[in-house]
Structure 1
Amino acid sequence: MEIYRFAKDSGKKITQYNSDFVMSRVIRTEGGVHIGAMYLEKDGIIGYHQATTPQLLLIISGEGFARGESEEYIMVRPGDAVFWTKGEWHETQTDTALTAIVIESENLDPSSFMPNKSEII
């Protein structure tokens, strides 16, 4: 399991075309991609299962805990991006609530755009 950051402070200020915003690039992919929104209520869980394809979970609001194949849970909060490889066992849960965007594709490489959270802590 790897945790990346897509929060505002990981982005780049864009001023081209008289713009004024920050863009946190997340991913570029070729081929098929599935993108969905996931809403976990209080005590919600995405049960322990194998990833059928590489998956990137972008935490939008709330907080929770994610794990890969180890039994160690890592706290995740808005701006975190959790990446699991194809076949990797994983789980996400929350005591309060959590909203996330999930991106699934055979061609995901989040390290090409986002800094690894362990490198910026």
Structure 2
Amino acid sequence: MEIYNFSKNIGKKITKFDSDFVISRIIQSGEMQTNVGCMYLEENGIIGFHQAVVPQLLLVLNGEGYVRGEKEEYAKVQLGDAVFWEKDEWHETKTDTGLNAIVIESEQLNPSSFMPLKK
């Protein structure tokens, strides 16, 4: 058995696209190159408005915040929410109080195969 650490203190501070968050990379695998990381947004943190390079799934672990796509209409997200953006889709995530999330990036993402849409 091996025990690894993906806590915030070993992560990398991201400021690109006027962002303010830390990401700890967890794994990269597969021929289609799947990337998994944990994002830590402090109070007033933001993942700045940018295009998704590949399909991306954001899984909120704790805290709450707001996400948007190309329109400037924000939707509230919280623990248990999963947000999916297609390749090339413009998007942003922000929080007033803090938010932690797992991010999965891969050409092969299809969350509708397993999860129902939030009502």
Tell me the TM-score normalised to structure 2 length. Answer: 0.73
Q: Which residue in the other structure is 2:63 paired with?
A: 62
Asked whether the 8 Å contact 1:30–1:107 carries over to 2, the reply is: no
Residues 30-76 of structure 1 show CA distances to partners (whole Å, capped at 9, x for unaligned) of 73210000000000000000000000000000000000011100000
SS at match of 2:97: strand
Cα RMSD of the aligned pairs, angstroms, is 1.3
* Aligned counterparts of 1:31 and 1:85: Cα–Cα separation in 2: 15
Q: Which residue in the other structure is 1:52 paired with?
A: 53
Q: Which residue in the other structure is 1:88 paired with?
A: 89
* Aligned counterparts of 1:31 and 1:71: Cα–Cα separation in 2: 31
Give the count of matched residue pairs: 90
* Aligned counterparts of 1:32 and 1:110: Cα–Cα separation in 2: 17
Q: Which residue in the other structure is 1:97 paired with?
A: 98
SS at match of 2:96: strand
* Aligned counterparts of 1:73 and 1:116: Cα–Cα separation in 2: 17
* Aligned counterparts of 2:87 and 2:32: Cα–Cα separation in 1: 16
SS at match of 1:96: coil
SS at match of 2:95: strand
Tell me the TM-score normalised to structure 1 length. Answer: 0.72
Residues 72-103 of structure 1 show CA distances to partners (whole Å, capped at 9, x for unaligned) of 00000000000000000000000000000000
